[in-house]
Amino acid sequence: MKFVRRKGPNQVHLNRRYANVNLDELVGRCGEWLRASGPEADIVISSRIRLARDLAEFPFIRQCSEQDRVALERHVRQRLLSLPAFQGAWPIDVAALPALDRQFLVERQAISRELRDAQGARSVILGEGETFSVMINEEDHLRIQVMHSGFDLQPAWEQINEIDNQIEKHIRYAFHDRLGFLTACPTNVGTGMRVSVMLHLPGLVLTHEIDRAFRGLQKMSLAVRGLYGEGSQAMGDFYQISNQVTLGKTEEELIAQVAGIVPSLIEYERIARRTLLEQSARELHDRVSRAYGILCTAKTISSEETMDLLSSVRMGVNLGLLHDLQIPTINQLFVQTQPAHLQKLNRQELGTADRNEARARYLQQRLKSDLTEGPQDKPR
């Protein structure tokens, strides 16, 4: 099956081979999950569900020969691209990408760090609007993920379930009557499902209530991770809450388990913000304004400091302490000020010092244009 799609002035030919994707096209825009359009988007950045799936007739990835990996990747990619859910999707040959482009996809949460660092044939298929992606030859043969803006787990589940149903009609999954979907790591067996909600919790961090709010999550078999999942730090006051157990509960029960805790965390965060406003309004306003001031005027700034300051500014906008700035712009800046994005924006590789300078320039330009364009500005 072949089709042609017009993309700006250039024709992009898509067929069941890799798309002639120019990643530069993605640089200036962001996935829909960053648009802050979903429910409770002031505190919940995104809702993500992923399914781990393996083919019945191949060894798991670690045991695959390179020949197996190549055959498997091609087979899965061709099958997927013929499905209705994948119309307009972009298949990207991750193995052929330069390191900078691989990191760029990690920063957009389109691929995992594991896929970035893996060896041999591997790819990702990006769904339109980056609402979903399928990694091929990651730890499992397929890692399907759906990302929605805000607290939006049920629609995310409906979307990923439909994608999964379409795939399983054409690909024979490894499935065991008693144990469910079989995965390379026993921690994913059963549903193969990880449900995550990413929360922005600066109020709980500032009031030192964050540990208390998370206490008890472990007992409920829920995990708390940083922005980029397992092993990553909680930069910019972002925290991901996800299920740990995948066997013995239905998909709906797993979603309910994660969804059940989110309203309390949102409420705790709102209480913390109210407390800050009531008890230390001057300090809070000062903190937010200083953060904004530095972001607008710094000549050189690190990624870590940027995340930290953007976090304060984001809370400030949500609390009405800063006006005219748009939350989607701030959400995008969290991603676009990261190293690979900055280098793609500047169309060249940059060392740390040059990156810090480019970051400061970019922040000023974006924050200034947000002020001039005002609330009508809708990010693409």
Partner 1 sequence: MKCHHCEKPAVFHITELTGPEPQELHLCEDHAREYLSAPAGPEPSTASSGEDASKNKIGDTAQELAKLDQRACPKCGITFYEFRQQGRLGCPYDYVFFEQELEPLLFNIHGQKQHTGKRPSSGASTTGRHADLIRLRREMQEAVEREDYELASRIRDEIRQAEGTEPGPSQ
Binding site for partner 1 (CB under 8 A): 54, 56-60, 62-63, 65, 67-68, 71-72, 74-75, 139, 161, 164, 168-170, 172-182, 184-187, 189-191, 193, 221, 245-251, 253-254
In the complex, the smallest distance separating the C-beta of residue 141 from partner 1, rounded to whole angstroms, is: 10
Q: What angle, 0 to 180 degrees and rounded to 10, lies between the N-to-C axes of helices 303-318 and 327-336? A: 170
Nearer to partner 1, 72 or 266 (CB): 72
| Tokens of residue 136, six digits | 């091929």
In the complex, the smallest distance separating the C-beta of residue 285 from partner 1, rounded to whole angstroms, is: 42
Nearer to partner 1, 14 or 52 (CB): 52
Cβ-in-10-Å burial (0-12, 13-18, 19+) of 364 comes to middle
Number of residues assigned to the chain:
380
In the complex, the smallest distance separating the C-beta of residue 160 from partner 1, rounded to whole angstroms, is: 11
In the complex, the smallest distance separating the C-beta of residue 259 from partner 1, rounded to whole angstroms, is: 16
Nearer to partner 1, 44 or 118 (CB): 118
- Is residue 84 within 8 A of residue 97, CB to CB? The reply is no
Give rounded-to-5 percent helix, strand, coil for the chain.
50, 20, 35
CB atoms within 10 A of CB 282: 7
Nearer to partner 1, 70 or 100 (CB): 70
Nearer to partner 1, 67 or 372 (CB): 67
- What's the one-letter identity of residue 43? I
In the complex, the smallest distance separating the C-beta of residue 1 from partner 1, rounded to whole angstroms, is: 15
CB atoms within 10 A of CB 225: 18
| Tokens of residue 5, six digits | 């799609």
- Which 3 state secondary structure label does DSSP give 290? helix
Nearer to partner 1, 57 or 373 (CB): 57
In the complex, the smallest distance separating the C-beta of residue 213 from partner 1, rounded to whole angstroms, is: 23
Residues facing 6 on adjacent strands: 11
